[in-house]
Copies of this chain bind each other. A is one copy, B any other.
């Protein structure tokens, strides 16, 4: 007889459940418009109990973002490592970003991108290194791509343009719609390539 049977609560570690619910809530209604009570309700505990797991509401936002940014960077690093050509690396860049924006971590990724300003200055500072590392990988690939004649736009500029185009898809692309993520990936590729 596990504890979830006794308490009637859904299984899974509390921290995990809080983070998942927080990502969904923060994404849907914005960090500031969500109350800790709503979050606690969603998890099935009382608001006071949240503070046994996280020091503050800000801390929850930070944890959501940190987890996804660490994952995203690690996944990208691995994907780039196993990409034989620059063209494959380019595709890995886009694939990885879309995977996060529309995959299992979609909520957390959207929160990372669109609630960045809700994060405390301190939190931003602590996440900046990872963020920079991630974009450095983009930069390197795009620089190589231009030098190889695959694209003809300045890497700094194209990095931002592509990033903007990709993350915005969180707001319109429907995973259950007619178009698949692979097709979207292909469309982006065809815009980038000369």
Contacts and interface: CB of A to CB of B under 8 A. Distances in A.
A114 B167 CA distance: 13
A6 B163 CA distance: 51
Interface stretch (A10-18, A73-81, A123-131, A153-161): A153-161
Given A157-B179, A164-B165, A164-B167, 17 more contacts: A32-B32, A32-B33, A153-B191, A154-B179, A154-B187, A160-B168, A160-B169, A160-B172, A161-B169, A162-B165, A163-B168, A164-B166, A164-B169, A165-B165, A168-B168, A191-B191, A191-B192
A161 B187 CA distance: 9
B191 A118 contact: no
A100 to B, nearest CB: 15
Interface in A86-141: 114, 117-118
- The listed residue with most B CB atoms (<10 A of its CB), out of A114, A154, A165, A166, is A165
Oligomer: number of copies: 4
Nearest to A31: B32
Nearest to A116: B171
A188 B158 CA distance: 9
14 contacts: A32-B32, A114-B114, A153-B191, A154-B179, A154-B187, A158-B187, A160-B165, A161-B165, A161-B188, A164-B164, A164-B165, A165-B165, A165-B168, A191-B191
